[in-house]
Amino acid sequence: MGKHGTDLLHGTLDLLILKLLERSPMNGYSIGKKIEVLTDDALRIEEGSLYPALYRMERRGWLKATWGTSENNRKAKFYQLTRTGKKKLAEQAENWNRFQSAVGKIMEGAG
């Protein structure tokens, strides 16, 4: 996962994927690369985690997949948020913000 030993909290990968797909459809490879770039390589999602998450979210109706051509001219599955996925993103983002706030309070006051 992360080259610095950074582990994702359970459910965080779903949130990251949903957030990245909020703006436009992407294929799995691009999602993984975007996570690396945006986190300055702090998070590196292995294919063994990324693709099962994408398939699971597609089965749950959060994502819709269509076949297209990738940037390097290969056939690839492109994922986009469904209406259900947008609702799930809002719910998970709210949960993440509450979690982050709670941990922040402990970190600031635990000294």
How many domains are there within the chain?
1
Mean pLDDT of the chain: 91
The range of the structural domain enclosing residue 52 comes to 12-109
Per-residue pLDDT reduced to its tens digit, 54-86: 999 999 999 999 999 998 899 999 999 999 999
Report yes or no on 19 lying in a domain: yes
Q: Give the H or E element holding residue 91.
A: helix 83-109
**DSSP assignment letter at 23:** T
Instruction: Tell me the C-alpha distance between 107 and 46, whole Å.
Output: 30
pTM of the model: 0.86
- CATH of residue 71: 1.10.10.10
Report yes or no on 67 lying in a domain: yes
Report yes or no on 86 lying in a domain: yes
Higher-pLDDT residue of 9 and 19 is 19
Report yes or no on 78 lying in a domain: yes
Q: Which two tokens stand for residue 2?
A: 């992360």
Report yes or no on 5 lying in a domain: no
Q: Which two tokens stand for residue 81?
A: 């948020």
